[in-house]
Amino acid sequence: MPRKQKKYHFIYKTTNEVNGKFYVGMHSTDDLDDGYIGSGKYLWNSIRKYGRENFRIEILESFESRGELKKREEELVNEDMLKDPLCMNLRKGGEGGLLSYEHGLKLSRAGAAKIKWLKENDKEFADKRRKFCIENLKKYGDSFPIGHTIWKNRKHKVSTKKIMSDKAKLRTGNKNSQYGTCWIMKEGKNLKIKLNELEKYIQNGWIKGRKIKDRLL
């Protein structure tokens, strides 16, 4: 059954009045006072930190249909906007849902690129992410994968697994930054070397592998 058409369709801008950062999105509703101020992940991290009362939403443009609205968001939330250090959008407009496997893979790469840029250019974002990793490393130890959220009692969808698999394939062979290297250890010290140097180090008392706390990998 097709989705019921909403009465109002508009482009909105939500602004953090503390630091000036903003998020631009689209929304369809039957109630202009429904309290909606955005759905972006980075935006909601900011709302949790500064409090909802410090965010202002304004309607930039209104449209007659959802189709017109989506098209306009694609025009407004473009690559130039994403490069703005004050922009909290993580991906271009119109990319809020998966249209195909290729689309999902494209979104995954775009999101990763935006997060990488934020870590390098947004001190607030980088500090928060670093604090998150440190706190969870203390809590979960070596079982916590740095840079990722805890994944417990959940399963990836088949389509997501396919995307992850294809991304991993792009990092195989000489495309992987660790290609042609290995870890070795000696007297509790770990060292990463080129594979073609392994025999030389072994002759000097090193062994292949590395030690993390009380485990040998």
| Residue after which a domain boundary falls, among 38, 53, 88 | 88
**113 and 43, same domain (yes or no):** no
Shared domain for 82 and 109, answered yes or no, is no
- The model's pLDDT over 78-89, given as tens digits with 9 standing for 90+, comes to 989 999 999 999
Given 66, 88, 110, the domain boundary residue is: 88
- Answer yes or no: is pLDDT of 128 > 70: yes
In a domain, 57, yes or no: yes
pLDDT tens per residue, range 48-76: 889 999 999 999 999 999 899 999 999 99
Domain stops at, among 88, 121, 142: 88
Do 165 and 182 lie in a common domain?
no
CB count within 10 Å of CB 97 equals 8
Residue 175 pLDDT: 63
133 and 184 together in one domain = no
Q: What does pTM read for this prediction?
A: 0.48
Which of the two residues, 86 and 177, has the higher pLDDT score?
86
Is the predicted pLDDT of residue 214 greater than 60, yes or no? no
Residues 143 and 202 in one domain: no
pLDDT for 216: 46
The answer to the question of residue 40 being in a domain is: yes
Q: How confident is the model at residue 3 (pLDDT cuts 50, 70, 90)?
A: low
User: Would you place residue 98 in the very low, low, confident or very high pLDDT band (cuts 50, 70, 90)?
Assistant: very low
Q: Do 27 and 51 lie in a common domain?
A: yes
Residue 107's pLDDT is 53
Domain that holds residue 43: 8-88
Residue 148 has pLDDT above 50, yes or no: no
- Looking at the structure, do residues 166 and 101 belong to the same domain, yes or no? yes
Whether 30 maps to a domain, the answer reads yes
CA atoms of 193 and 56, how far apart (whole Å): 53
In a domain, 83, yes or no: yes
**Cα–Cα distance for residue pair 19/49, rounded to 1 Å:** 12
CB-based contact 163:177 (threshold 8 Å): no
Task: Specify the number of domains making up the chain.
Answer: 3
Residue 18: its pLDDT value, please? 94
Torsion of CA 157, 158, 160, 161, to 10 degrees: 120
Are 43 and 105 in the same domain? no
CA distances from 72 to 3, 56, 89, 134, 207 (A): 20, 21, 15, 41, 60
Same domain, 155 and 199: no
Beta bridge partners of 87: 22
Least confident segment among 49-53, 136-140, 142-146, 204-208: 142-146
Structure tokens at 100: 């195909």
Flag whether 1 is in a domain.
Answer: no
Regarding whether 131 and 196 lie in a shared domain, the answer is no
